[in-house]
Amino acid sequence: MVGHRPVLLAIALLAAATPARADRELFGYSLDPSAMPDHPAPPSIPDLTHRGLWLGLEQTWASIKPKDAITGPQDRSFAWLGRAEAETTLGTSRRFFAGLAAESGYGKPPGGTDGRLIAGYPELWTRAVWSDRTGLTYGGGLSLVVPAWRRGASSADAAVAEGVRVVRPWDFPAFADNTFTGTPFLDARVVDGRVTMQLRQAFSFQGLVAEARIPSVNLVSRTTLYLGYQPIDELGLGLEVWEVYFLSADLPDNQRAAFALSPSVRLLTRTFQPALSLLVPYDRPLFDRVESYWAVRLTFGAILDIARPAVVVPEITPR
């Protein structure tokens, strides 16, 4: 029994020291929230592993060319969209998050002369994420867009919503009138030095809210791809690419897909991360509703730390 004492003592010391290690891992994944990486994110999606509370405010100013076939010859019209969002970690872990967003828009109905300010439906989501030291991060979640009020199908507000939602095609459910949208999504991010590639693949199930009948359900694929490069630590250059594809909907085949591109430049500090970006469609705009558009986006982002309990290193008292 005496000969086993050194082995037993070594096991006891290892068991006592393991919980105190700040870089402890399980199957290559860090178990310490403070060891999760901070990385630049696309302007449209919060950092997948941000530290605490993310606050975002986006302003989008757009110039829209209406379709002559709908309104007759018209000059380009102005549209504005605003989005405010917040996302926070759940507990002290940087693995589980929950967030909410609210949007509003301004524009003129086709053929109208007076602009109207409208509100978009609120969005709520929750997600989980895992990250390792090689730069790979992946996870997923679920978001809900709830039709908190109803708009008349022939109202001026509904006409404005149909126009402004083409500007941010990946985010159109907020202005899909009288429609409930549930969206499971998957996230993946790879970081290699100063290069970041991030992907979000979402599938939206949409049902029209109507009385006394079972609504039909549309399935929509929404893909967001981001390529980013940091020439210096305080600056991020990026390109976002979106595809929105209606897998099942009462639409002509040439209107099922919509693409948009957005190059961006972003200031990266520990707390504030403002971004300036240009937004343009590729090929047909969403629903082929307008002839063309272009937009400028200004994003104000802030990350606020949430206090976490300090790591306590247990003392081993020799006997």
- Sheet strands (E) in 209-310: 217-232, 235-248, 257-267, 275-282, 290-304
Asked whether residue 317 is assigned to any structural domain, the reply reads: no
Task: Tally the domains of the chain.
Answer: 1
Q: How confident is the model at residue 112 (pLDDT cuts 50, 70, 90)?
A: low
**Over residues 236-241, mean pLDDT:** 96
Backbone angles phi, psi at 49, to 5 degrees: -125, 35
Q: Taking the model in full, what pTM does it have?
A: 0.80
> Which CATH number covers residue 291?
2.40.160.40
Place of tokens 């941010």: 168
Asked whether residue 191 is assigned to any structural domain, the reply reads: yes
pLDDT over 70, % of the chain: 78
Spatial distance between the Cα atoms of 263 and 294, rounded to a whole number of angstroms: 12
**Whole-number CA gyration radius for the chain:** 24
Spatial distance between the Cα atoms of 161 and 146, rounded to a whole number of angstroms: 16
Token representation of residue 280:
């343009």
pLDDT, tens only, 4-49? 554 444 444 334 443 433 344 444 444 454 556 667 889 999 999 8
Asked whether residue 68 is assigned to any structural domain, the reply reads: yes
**Over residues 280-292, mean pLDDT:** 86
**Over residues 160-172, mean pLDDT:** 91
pLDDT, tens only, 184-229? 999 999 998 899 999 999 999 998 875 434 556 789 999 999 999 9
Asked whether residue 3 is assigned to any structural domain, the reply reads: no
Asked whether residue 67 is assigned to any structural domain, the reply reads: yes
Spatial distance between the Cα atoms of 38 and 52, rounded to a whole number of angstroms: 11
Spatial distance between the Cα atoms of 70 and 297, rounded to a whole number of angstroms: 27
Dihedral (CA of 259, 67, 116, 176) sign: negative
Residue 128 structural domain: 33-304
Spatial distance between the Cα atoms of 165 and 64, rounded to a whole number of angstroms: 11
Report yes or no: 118 and 100 within 8 Å, Cβ to Cβ.
Answer: no
The per-residue pLDDT for 117 is 93
Asked whether residue 7 is assigned to any structural domain, the reply reads: no
Q: Which of 13-17, 248-252, 264-268 has the lowest mean pLDDT?
A: 13-17
Asked whether residue 297 is assigned to any structural domain, the reply reads: yes
DSSP SS3 for 95: coil
Task: Report residue 136 CA to chain centroid gap.
Answer: 18
Token representation of residue 221:
């694929």
**Over residues 43-64, mean pLDDT:** 92
Asked whether residue 28 is assigned to any structural domain, the reply reads: no
